[in-house]
Amino acid sequence: MFSIILISHGQMSQGILHSSEMIFGKQEDVVAVSLNPDEGPDDFRKKLEEAIASLGNTEKILFLADLWGGTPFNQASNLINEKEKGGDWLITAGMNLPMVIESYSARFSGQDPKDVIKGIVGEAKKGVKVFPEEFNPQEEKPAALAKKAGSANLPTSGQIQYVLARIDTRLLHGQVATGWTKAANPDRIIVVSDNVAKDKLRKNMIAQAAPSGVPANTVPIKKMAEVAKDVRFGKTKAMLLFETPEDALKAIESGVDIKELNVGSMAYSNGKVNVNQVLAMDQEDVDTLKKLRDMGVKFDVRKVPNSSPENMDELLKKAQSLIDGNK
């Protein structure tokens, strides 16, 4: 009988575990792991590793995640990618109560997670209904979808449109995959990074973290500059993600025409100073952001879409003052 780990932002996983046990009874080798507001990816991974160690069966585990591409999903995905035999560990996103209850039923059959996953996902979808029933949305028929796809032609003119260009150390995670994707409405996410483009594991993680219907790719900066001039991408609405301000500057200097940068997250590391809760800078960062500003690039300093924008000039002054004070 395989083990089950429920993972989520906040206490959702704990709540679903409690609700499912009210219906199905106390379950052996089923645990819940929550990402709290004051915790980061490393904190969650440690809790996840401890939860796995507490299970009787660690060879076969089904992770049920709240959100595809969020930190809980990504950290579980990391563990699966690092495991020598990842086939016995699986993740399903979109966790709801019907999915969890079906998982309990399925594991008593003695099958592996990969053998029951279709039924679990199907039950989760069936659990999403509207009452009165006449308001249930009707799914579009496959033939109509095929007709739409066949009618699309590659453009012969125009340039790629950037609906959002964001600096975020974490690149593609839950806040980006949900909040910013919905706000900007891209049809493609592009991570622009020479370092990540060379890292097969991180590239796979980014592709897996993409929200439904919006593919995610990773390209080096030089390739992005080529794509920017390619008329075949003239109909593309892209969200660009940069790991650092330096990468954004290199891309712009290479010909990627970005008018505004959303600055969402710059993680702390040795030698940097904390400017606010999500931005840490060193002298190179300050100089780079000033250069971008002098080039006419505007800044939208927001972690999530509904945050109030902060003033970049004031943040740069604060950062410089803190850096000078540490000398």
pTM over 0.75: no
Q: Decide if 136 is inside a domain.
A: no
Examine the domain organization and report whether 192 and 107 are in the same domain. no
Examine the domain organization and report whether 252 and 303 are in the same domain. yes
Examine the domain organization and report whether 311 and 203 are in the same domain. yes
| Phi-psi sector, 78: left (phi>0), alpha (psi -120 to 50), beta | alpha
Q: How are beta strands 237-242 and 273-274 bridged, if at all?
A: unpaired
Domain range spanning residue 83? 3-126
Examine the domain organization and report whether 32 and 111 are in the same domain. yes
Examine the domain organization and report whether 180 and 84 are in the same domain. no
What count of Cα atoms within 13 Å lies in the side-chain half-sphere of residue 51? 25
Q: Which of 170, 173, 202, 250 is catalytic?
A: 173
- Could you identify the residue written with the tokens 């964001």? 166
Which CATH number does the domain housing residue 246 bear? 3.40.35.10
Of 55, 1, 8, nearest to 32 by C-alpha is: 8
Examine the domain organization and report whether 314 and 166 are in the same domain. yes
Q: Decide if 294 is inside a domain.
A: yes
Specify whether 173 is catalytic: yes
Q: Give how far Cα 138 sits from Cα of 72, 134, 186, Å.
A: 32, 10, 25
Distance CA 112, CA 97 (A): 21
Let me know if 221 is exposed, middle or buried by CB neighbors in 10 A (0-12, 13-18, 19+). buried
- Could you identify the residue written with the tokens 């990773």? 218
Examine the domain organization and report whether 113 and 181 are in the same domain. no
Which CATH number does the domain housing residue 36 bear? 3.40.50.510
Q: Decide if 142 is inside a domain.
A: no
Q: Tell which of 80, 108, 126 closes a domain.
A: 126
Find all residues with CB under 8 Å of 58, minimum gap 6, and list them: 3, 52
Q: Which of 2, 7, 8, 9 is catalytic?
A: 9
Examine the domain organization and report whether 178 and 122 are in the same domain. no
Q: Tell which of 108, 126, 144 closes a domain.
A: 126
Number of domains in the chain: 2
Q: How are beta strands 280-281 and 273-274 bridged, if at all?
A: antiparallel
pLDDT tens-place values along the chain, 327 residues long: 899 999 999 999 999 999 998 888 888 999 999 999 889 899 999 999 999 999 999 999 999 999 998 999 999 999 998 886 555 899 999 999 999 988 988 887 777 888 888 888 888 888 888 888 788 887 655 454 444 444 455 555 568 999 999 999 999 987 888 789 988 999 999 999 999 999 998 998 898 888 878 999 999 999 999 999 888 888 899 999 999 999 999 999 999 999 999 999 999 999 999 999 999 999 999 999 999 999 999 999 998 888 889 999 999 999 999 999 987
